A and B are shown apart, each in its own frame.
Chain A
Amino acid sequence: MVHSEQSDRRPGTGSPETEDDVATQRYLDLIRSAHREWGELERSGDASVQLSEQARSTIRESVRADVRHGAQVQMPPTASGPYTMSEYALRGLVRRAVDQVDGALALKARFEHDDSGRGLRERGLPTRVICRISASIECRDLQDLADRVRTSVREAFAEQVELRDPVVDIHIEDLHEQHVR
């Protein structure tokens, strides 16, 4: 059994996910620009091996992106072939599923995987999702809240990636004002 864990998020503070999303957008723009530069060099017949500043930036940023992404997680293949999701993408899927439940806020998630992953940087199919959440102080029925979050996470896995049987554990470990998002 292999475990992976999501970074902390505190209610009412700027989330690390937002910062990561800004960094991701910057990186996508850099890659787009590097593709353009590469195409222009090839069209002009320039076979220079001198690396441009942009090419060097791409190396640095790709290392940072790899740290952000974490390991790749196996997903059930589509009819057209195999695919994987990074731990970062998978955490985003869980976070959105938790946050869309009224009164719940995602804090942290941990995954357990089967042993189908190959290599150090690849995990098998997720078998269990352990969600740590914050509940609104106005919530009167925490059991019901946990059930709604569990259902939302299960539905997200079924609809988004057709993974229908992960166990979903919910731990309420903080309380927050309803307006905090």
Chain B
Amino acid sequence: MSSTCAEFDAADLIGVVCAVPGVRGIEAGVASALRTLDARVRRTGGARSRYGLVLDRKQGTVTVEVSLLADIAVRKVVAAIQQAVQQALDSESSQVWQVLVRVQSIAAPSA
């Protein structure tokens, strides 16, 4: 993780989300993909968006789009993602964060 005492950026949070058990990967929707590319092209806000994760400090929201494994209940994995992201962001400020998780797909259970 690149930020230990500074602000977390979207790339850091991707690592936090992918470390949660039951997460198969980040599965971006078209809106977050375009937003990420737009930030890159305009050279603004690159730290706030990555494919599948948008960090909005002004609104206090994080939106993350994921694919899950079917081995753990959907709701449990979603709650774990929300808590992991909130804990990561709580460590940098007292701002209250709302974490919206979008479950894009669920892989078949492992045999």
**Contact surface of A with B, Cβ cutoff 8 Å:** 20-21, 24-25, 27-28, 31-32, 34-35, 38-39, 42, 47, 49, 51, 55, 58-59, 62-63, 65-66, 68-69, 72, 75, 78-86, 88-89, 92-93, 96, 159-162
Is B29's CB under 8 angstroms from A65's CB?
Answer: yes
Q: Give bound CA distance, A81 to B85, whole Å.
A: 11
Given the known interface contacts A59-B33, A161-B74, the answer about A81 and B104 at a Cβ–Cβ threshold of 8 Å is no
Contact of B52 among A21, A31, A69 (CB under 8 A): A31
Is A65's CB under 8 angstroms from B43's CB?
Answer: no
- How many chain B residues touch A (CB < 8 A): the figure is 42
Q: Give bound CA distance, A83 to B103, whole Å.
A: 8
Dominant SS among interface residues on chain B: mixed
Dominant SS among interface residues on chain A: helix
Is A80's CB under 8 angstroms from B73's CB?
Answer: no
Q: Give bound CA distance, A24 to B28, whole Å.
A: 11
**Contact surface of B with A, Cβ cutoff 8 Å:** 11, 14, 24-30, 33-34, 37, 40-41, 43, 46, 50-52, 67-68, 70, 73-75, 78-79, 82-83, 86, 98-109
